[in-house]
Amino acid sequence: MSGGSPTYTELVIPYLAGSLSGGAESFFAHPIDTVKTRIQSRVVSGESLKAHERYWPKLNTVSGIRALYDGLSPAVLRGLFAGALFMGTNDTFKRLFAGSTEEYRNPLAPSFILAGAATGLVEAMVYCPFETAKVQLQVGNYKTTSGCFRALLNHSGLPGIYLGFGGLLGKTVLGNVAFFTSYAALCNWIEPPGVDGEAKAPSTTTALVAGGLANMLYYAAGHPMDTVQSITMAQRYPREVYTSWWDCIKVVTKQHGWRALFRGLAPNVLQAAPGGAACMITYEVAMAALDPNNPENMW
């Protein structure tokens, strides 16, 4: 990107702020994510698409509220890393691909879109093991994270902890492009740049609204592949039902129709708004607080 090389601080701050935002999003969104994952995974046992109608009462009477936080530890741990990758890596790729400051900020620029897709690839490779452990715990296959990793590694080595990688990759690539482009576009629409074209950091209200809506688009764009990810990751060795993400799509749609890929859509959309709002408010506040050139920060 023209206009001089970024400083070390400019490169590092997005990763630090992104890590904080990822942890906040995972914590607030995890209970609904647990419900969504258990609904999606019921395809393996052949339950009807109305399984969610019976799940909430069962949760309240059998498992209690604490069941909503099954798998929280790996989810938050994954969130800390994924948040840094989500925001920091995207910022790095934008700086790498953009030819100008205007292109760096333009959500419709090819380099802007490519940065989101490239970030999705990196994300999927890095935190797929954490996602696998979270899903395995959420559906009750294992009791502890360490026990889950040990069992999967003993059975099939490194590929064992990359269950559902294809579905996760599809979700992150499609979702990231939808999120970053829509968030930037919404911020520009709510708070247009000044007469000089200089973009300002969004206000708390703008980050809340744009973050919530952008995250809803993230989950809407990636939901079918998210379902494939949940189904394949929920399998327990040695009773594999699907050999790949494509095999999962073929078998599930043949047995249950295309509607099956959209199971859990309601709780997925429900978790998106508060999760995205928490993520982007935390990110924007952290960016402002950590920026040494910001006269209003704590330093």
Q: What is the mean pLDDT of the chain?
A: 81
161-204, pLDDT tens digit by residue?
A: 887 899 999 999 999 999 999 999 999 999 887 655 566 788 88
Q: What is the mean pLDDT of residues 148-157?
A: 85
pLDDT of residue 198: 62
pLDDT of residue 81: 77
pLDDT of residue 151: 86
pLDDT of residue 294: 62
- Of residues 252 and 42, more confidently modeled: 252
Q: What is the mean pLDDT of residues 147-153?
A: 87
CATH number of 8-290: 1.50.40.10
Predicted confidence (pLDDT) at residue 57 exceeds the cutoff of 50: no
Residue 233 corresponds to which tokens in the numbers above? 């990751």
Which of 34-43, 93-102, 126-135 comes out lowest in average pLDDT?
Answer: 34-43
Q: What is the mean pLDDT of residues 95-108?
A: 88
Tell me the CA end-to-end span of the chain in Å, nearest whole number.
Answer: 28
Predicted confidence (pLDDT) at residue 82 exceeds the cutoff of 80: no
Residue 129 to residue 27: CA distance in whole angstroms? 18
Q: Tally Cβ neighbours within 10 Å of residue 10.
A: 14
Per-domain residue ranges of the chain = 8-290
User: Exposed, middle or buried: residue 124 (CB in 10 Å: 0-12, 13-18, 19+)?
Assistant: buried
